[in-house]
């Protein structure tokens, strides 16, 4: 096999280490001549091969620095660089990926069923803000029941801090977090603990500062723009090589870093009218790159396009899951009572929450007044695990004036009710870093751009927040934390000591995740075996029909203390063999203190004093329900197995 074919097989372009030297390859249709410039000043011309330039330099090894000269200008960093030790504007470094010694040869990968996903930002997850510092905390996440880590984008970006969505060197881990070996150590450590790692990738735009692809090609973008800049050319003239950049990038993270999957950012702004959508092609090729490992591919999609998670054989893209903002929005309105901006089309009612559990999306083609268009697509038989639910994520925490967490804005008891729905419901739950111990730290939008670009970003942030009437006042605008302010970044760092000082919240999340993992009925994650009903004002029930394992009943009261008698709702009826023989009230005592033998046994309550609650009470008393305000209670039929 020729060196050129070896290069294409391993990675489309870049500096590729071989046993006797380094093969360089770059896509540069705009150029007549490209030269490699080494750190010692030596220059090597590359040979043109159609729209590419390539060549082999014997004797080179990993760790050496290089740049490219294009038609006599430059030198410039390699857009396919695997590491930028001085940032996106500095020299590129040759990386020998074979030098890392993996210990995860038996790792099978991950599938969607059974996942509890934990989203984190490397720079603010720990005081150190590096891959190695984050790796030291993985055992703690494993201990509370997290199964997969979702890492916010790590592709090299300009400045000292960034969310990662301004990445420009797509194949280079951000140097402020550590080098390629550090990221591999992070993944290897996760696998040694039984944790998966998926990476958030941005294929809808490139950052505005440090992107050198324009030196080598004019084919990368279309003339049309999205909210971040020019749309990437996935289907226009000369788009084949553009597609290959992103296909190879997805395969690169999975192959070289043993990543267990990808989360595709804002896919509604990935425009492609090709016969095979770029996401579908990436899905096919990424699974090939994983070899025998199982990977998961998820998306953020504001349009709620169900085809993304349908099989390729059914005309879908073949992704495994998609974020469901509808659950978040309905839950947030229920928790705060505020219906501003993009929350305006949600009421936060029990029925909305029930429908999310049973139906996935709330908007499946109805008119959406905020967007002034129909929204969503029809959900049919897609599995529950294909819908990712959350109460917090990086966007929805930061898209508010002070970046407060939802648990800081809502009544604690009410928050515990909603977290019970999140962690016991059949859909895949996602926690945002710090949520598990009720972090007091905000998560704000932060970037570190050059002064001119920084001013534009700060102004854009004010425009975004102006859609919220309560933030649009002049005094509020003046108090918006500037993304470019170092303090904005520092305030967003977690205080991990709060795992101890907020022990009640930590235990609460840990107990719920344990129930999710161990209860034989909850673990089934079936939308078809649950039902829900409104019992009274702001009181509703979800029932799992568990067959031989018995049934489970989650009674949720988002309102005040309430006595309900009689109970004209079949979901609240006891299983057939638990109906009282005399048809009336029982007299034998029970350990809940109700004075009557309940037909449902309480196994968990959000009002447990260990969580900071007022005390757990079995709501079933005789033929009456006593429902504590702001409480969620999980019960099982008396015939069901123990947990």
Q: Going edge to edge, which strands form the sheet with 52-58?
A: 14-18, 21-27, 52-58, 47-49
User: How far apart are alpha carbons 122 and 183 in whole angstroms?
Assistant: 10
**Six-digit token string for 216:** 């080598």
User: How far apart are alpha carbons 262 and 267 in whole angstroms?
Assistant: 12
- Three-state DSSP at 85 gives coil
Length of the chain: 643
Q: Residue 267 CA to chain centroid, in angstroms? A: 13
* Triad 510, 514, 515: Cα angle to 5°: 120
Helix (H) or strand (E) holding 415: helix 412-424
Choose the catalytic residue: 137, 300, 305, 325: 300
* Triad 244, 246, 251: Cα angle to 5°: 90
Q: Count Cβ atoms within 10 A of the Cβ of residue 196 and give its class: 0-12 exposed, 13-18 middle, 19 or more buried.
A: buried
Q: In the annotation, is 265 catalytic?
A: yes
To the nearest 10°, report the CA torsion of 163, 164, 168, 173: 130
Decide the pairing of beta strands 169-173 and 196-201: unpaired
To the nearest 10°, report the CA torsion of 558, 341, 396, 159: -160
Q: In the annotation, is 260 catalytic?
A: no
User: How far apart are alpha carbons 521 and 306 in whole angstroms?
Assistant: 27
Residue 260 CA: distances (Å) to CA of 167, 298, 506, 552: 21, 11, 27, 33
Q: How many CB atoms lie within 10 A of CB 51?
A: 17
H-helix segments, 296-411:
325-336, 350-359, 394-398, 406-409
* Contact present, 535 and 567 (Cβ < 8 Å): yes
- Three-state DSSP at 183 gives helix
User: How far apart are alpha carbons 398 and 433 in whole angstroms?
Assistant: 13
Choose the catalytic residue: 78, 150, 200, 265: 265
Phi and psi for 520 in degrees, rounded to 5?
Answer: -65, -20
- Three-state DSSP at 416 gives helix
Would you give the end-to-end CA distance of the chain in angstroms?
Answer: 58
Residue 624 CA: distances (Å) to CA of 567, 604, 606, 636: 7, 20, 20, 17
Q: Count Cβ atoms within 10 A of the Cβ of residue 244 and give its class: 0-12 exposed, 13-18 middle, 19 or more buried.
A: middle
User: How far apart are alpha carbons 481 and 479 in whole angstroms?
Assistant: 6
Closest CA to 293 of 196, 216, 365: 196
User: How far apart are alpha carbons 281 and 567 in whole angstroms?
Assistant: 53
- Three-state DSSP at 437 gives helix
Beta bridge partners of 555: 541, 633
User: How far apart are alpha carbons 318 and 326 in whole angstroms?
Assistant: 22
Q: What is the DSSP letter of 44?
A: E
Q: Count Cβ atoms within 10 A of the Cβ of residue 399 and give its class: 0-12 exposed, 13-18 middle, 19 or more buried.
A: middle
Residues labelled as active-site residues: 265, 300
């Amino acid at each position: 096999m020729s060196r050129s074919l070896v290069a294409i097989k391993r990675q489309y372009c870049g500096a590729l280490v071989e046993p006797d030297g380094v093969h360089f390859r770059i896509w540069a249709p705009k150029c007549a001549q490209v030269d490699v410039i080494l750190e010692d000043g030596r220059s090597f011309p590359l040979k043109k091969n159609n729209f590419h330039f390539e060549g082999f330099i014997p004797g080179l090894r990993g760790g050496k620095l290089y740049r490219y000269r294009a038609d006599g200008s430059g030198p410039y960093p390699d857009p396919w660089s695997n590491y930028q030790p001085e940032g996106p504007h500095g020299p590129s470094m040759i990386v020998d990926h074979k030098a890392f010694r993996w210990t995860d040869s038996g790792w099978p990968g991950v599938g969607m069923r059974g996942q509890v996903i934990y989203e984190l930002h490397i720079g603010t997850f720990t005081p150190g803000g590096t891959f190695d510092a984050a790796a030291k905390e993985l055992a703690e996440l494993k201990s509370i029941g997290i199964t997969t880590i979702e890492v916010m984008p790590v592709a090299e970006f300009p400045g000292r801090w960034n969310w990662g969505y301004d990445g420009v060197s797509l194949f280079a881990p951000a140097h402020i977090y550590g080098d390629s070996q550090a990221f591999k150590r992070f993944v290897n450590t996760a696998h040694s603990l039984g944790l998966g790692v998926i990476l958030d990738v941005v294929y809808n735009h490139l950052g505005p500062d440090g992107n050198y692809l324009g030196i080598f090609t004019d084919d990368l973008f279309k003339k049309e723009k999205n909210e971040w800049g020019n749309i990437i050319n996935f289907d226009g003239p000369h788009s084949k090589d553009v597609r290959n950049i992103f296909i190879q990038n997805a395969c690169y993270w999975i192959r070289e870093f043993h990543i267990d999957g990808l989360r595709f950012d804002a896919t509604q702004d990935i425009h492609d009218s090709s016969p095979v959508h770029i996401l579908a092609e990436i899905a096919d090729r990424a699974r090939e790159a994983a070899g025998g490992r199982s990977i998961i591919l998820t998306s953020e999609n504001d349009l709620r396009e169900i085809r993304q998670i349908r099989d390729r054989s059914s005309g879908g893209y073949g992704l495994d899951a998609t974020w469901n903002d509808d659950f978040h929005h309905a839950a947030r309105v229920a928790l705060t009572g505020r219906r501003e901006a993009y929350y305006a089309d949600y009421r936060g009612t029990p029925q909305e929450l029930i429908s999310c559990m049973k139906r996935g999306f709330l908007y499946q083609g109805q008119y959406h007044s905020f967007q002034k268009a129909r929204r969503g697509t029809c959900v049919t038989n897609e599995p529950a695990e294909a819908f990712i639910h959350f109460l917090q994520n990086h966007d929805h925490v930061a898209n508010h004036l002070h970046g407060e967490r939802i648990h800081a804005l809502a009544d604690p008891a009410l928050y515990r009710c909603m977290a019970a729905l999140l962690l016991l419901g059949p859909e895949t739950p996602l926690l945002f870093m710090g949520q598990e111990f009720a972090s007091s730290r905000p998560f704000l939008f932060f970037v570190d751009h050059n002064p001119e670009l920084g001013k534009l970003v700060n102004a854009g942030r004010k425009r975004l927040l102006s859609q919220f009437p309560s933030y649009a006042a002049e005094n509020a605008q003046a108090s918006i934390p500037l993304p470019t302010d170092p303090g904005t970044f520092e305030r967003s760092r977690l205080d991990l000591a709060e795992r101890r000082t907020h022990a009640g919240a930590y235990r609460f999340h840990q107990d719920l995740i344990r129930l999710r993992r161990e209860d034989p009925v909850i673990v089934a994650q079936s939308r078809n075996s649950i039902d829900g009903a409104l019992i009274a004002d702001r009181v509703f029930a979800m029932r799992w029909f568990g067959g031989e394992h018995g049934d489970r009943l989650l009674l949720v009261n988002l309102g005040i203390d309430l006595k309900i008698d009689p109970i004209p709702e079949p979901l609240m009826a006891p299983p057939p063999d638990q109906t009282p023989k005399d048809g009336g009230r029982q007299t034998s005592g029970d350990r809940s203190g109700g004075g009557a033998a309940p037909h449902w046994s309480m196994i968990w309550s959000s009002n447990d004093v260990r969580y900071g609650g007022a005390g757990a009470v079995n709501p079933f008393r005789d033929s009456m329900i006593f429902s504590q305000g702001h409480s969620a209670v999980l019960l099982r039929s008396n015939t069901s197995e123990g947990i």
